[in-house]
A = this chain, B = another copy of it.
């Protein structure tokens, strides 16, 4: 029986011309980041499970694709309660970066400005338009404790989006410490603020009433919840003055540069590892964020290195690619196809084609198909403006 031809569940193939557009988008973004002084790195797709688990990655840790141990007697492992898996596919690029920084600490400049674009994997329930493999495009600044990091990351990210043709974005700003202060001010001291954050995170998708009901069901004081959501609705700043001031510092610095920015007191970000300012990029045409990030000071300490200041911003690559027009980067190269009858013609044309290719033209030298008309149609669909008989072609 034939094997099915579909990709694995929740995965997808990327066909032409989308894959080429993705390459151009990635290059354009990385070129902008390079112009800001971010250096590219790569990390492996697979990390030891100990690196990924316990990284405060929030729900994403539950979504790790785990890789079976090699060489082990798996039944014996199970019998003695051992682990069947010892590695996993990364669910983000932030945790691997912290490990990377700890691993190469002595060789890295400080501050270290780094760009990292690569696929990540999460075993989410497959649904329309959401895939289990997707690409993140991150920049991070390591070793910068001041809001110089936040300001530059936001500036560079907005500029990268602009350079791929995405204008009109707004940076939504919050600070994990202000969020916590607001929650505790109205609901009292909490041992596990995580559940409250998860409820609040839904404010951009569901109604304020639904969120209030969920918090009430969880046993929180109804009047307190009402006051909390009220301050959120009014975008009131609450919390330690120094933290308010630093948030305003980022805000002003972006506004002065003409970047649209908004304080969003209900912005949560899913990951547990954030320690300070957090941000997302919204676009008026989209119900979800194009990019997100924040400060996650100290993550390097898990890996035996000093607790360095770290701050990062991640573009959701698939999401921005959906917004990029096919012709965003100009009309592309001229494309001509030359169809040959035999190998002799083929070789002659391959030699002739060289100069034209060096001149920037795509020259597709192919054997003439039996169905000449279908071949011509196929080539025209691929953007070939001319389909030439080799006999009449002189380069």
Residues on A lying within 8 angstroms of B by beta carbon are 2-8, 11-17, 19-20, 22-23, 27, 30, 34-37, 39-48, 50-51, 65-68, 70, 74-75, 78, 84-85, 87, 89, 99-100, 102-104, 107-111, 113-114, 119, 121, 123, 132-133, 144, 146-148, 151-152, 155, 159, 249, 253, 256-257, 301-305, 333, 335, 337, 340, 343, 346-347, 350-351, 354, 357, 361-367, 369, 374-375, 378-379, 381-382
- Chain B min CB distance to A37 (Å): 3
B-side contacts of A357, CB under 8 Å: 35-36
Residue of B nearest to A258 (CB): B351
Could you list 16 A-B pairs, sorted by A, with CB under 8 Å? Answer: A5-B102, A5-B304, A7-B99, A14-B43, A15-B104, A35-B362, A36-B357, A37-B362, A44-B133, A65-B68, A67-B89, A111-B367, A152-B365, A155-B350, A253-B347, A257-B351
A132 to B36, CA, bound (A): 33
- Chain B min CB distance to A280 (Å): 21
- Chain B min CB distance to A71 (Å): 9
Known A68-B85, A146-B343, A253-B347; 10 more pairs at CB < 8 Å: A7-B43, A8-B47, A19-B41, A35-B333, A44-B133, A67-B89, A111-B366, A144-B367, A152-B350, A257-B350
Q: Which of B66, B75, B133, B304 contacts A3 (CB 8 A)?
A: B304
Indicate if the CB atoms of A39 and B22 lie closer than 8 Å.
no
B-side contacts of A65, CB under 8 Å: 46, 67-68, 70, 87
Residue of B nearest to A346 (CB): B148
User: Which residue among A35, A111, A113 has the maximum number of chain B CB atoms within 10 Å of its CB?
Assistant: A35
**Known A-B contacts A8-B48, A148-B346; A41 and B67 likewise in contact (beta carbons under 8 Å):** no
B-side contacts of A148, CB under 8 Å: 340, 343, 346, 366-367
